[in-house]
Structure 1
Amino acid sequence: MTRMISMTLAATTIVFAQGCENLTPEQRTAVGLTGGAAAGLITADILDANNDWRVIAALTGAAVGTIVAQNEATQECAYARGDGTYVIAPCP
Structure 2
Amino acid sequence: MKRVIPMTIAAASLVFVQGCENLTPEQRTVVGVTGGAAAGLITADILGADRNWRLIAALAGAAAGTIVAQNDATDQCAYARGDGTYYTAPCP
**Mapped partners of 1:89, 1:15: distance in 2:** 27
For 2:29, the equivalent position in structure 1 comes to: 29
In 1, Cα distance between equivalents of 2:89 and 2:9: 26
* Residue identity in the other structure for 1:41: L
Structure 2: where are the runs of 5+ without partners? none
Name segments (4+ residues, structure 1) moved above 4 Å.
Answer: none
SS at match of 1:15: helix
* C-alpha RMSD over aligned residues: 1.5
Identity %: 76
CA separation in 2, counterparts of 1:49 and 1:82? 32
C-alpha change, 1:30 and 1:65, in structure 2 (3 Å) is same
Q: Which residue of 1 aligns with 2:13?
A: 13
| Paired letter, 2:49 | A
**CA distance, structure 1, for counterparts of residue 5 and residue 51 of structure 2:** 19
- Once the two structures are TM-superposed, the CA of residue 16 in structure 1 deviates from its matched residue by 3.3
Residue 12 of structure 1 and its aligned partner are, at CA, apart by 4.4
Q: Determine the structure 2 residue equivalent to 1:77.
A: 77
In structure 1, the gaps of 5 or more residues are none
1:47-66 matched pairs, under 5 angstroms: 47-66=47-66
SS in 1 for 2:22: coil
Instruction: Tell me how far apart the structure 1 counterparts of residues 8 and 82 of structure 2 sit (CA, whole Å).
Output: 33
Relative to the length of structure 1, the TM-score reads: 0.89
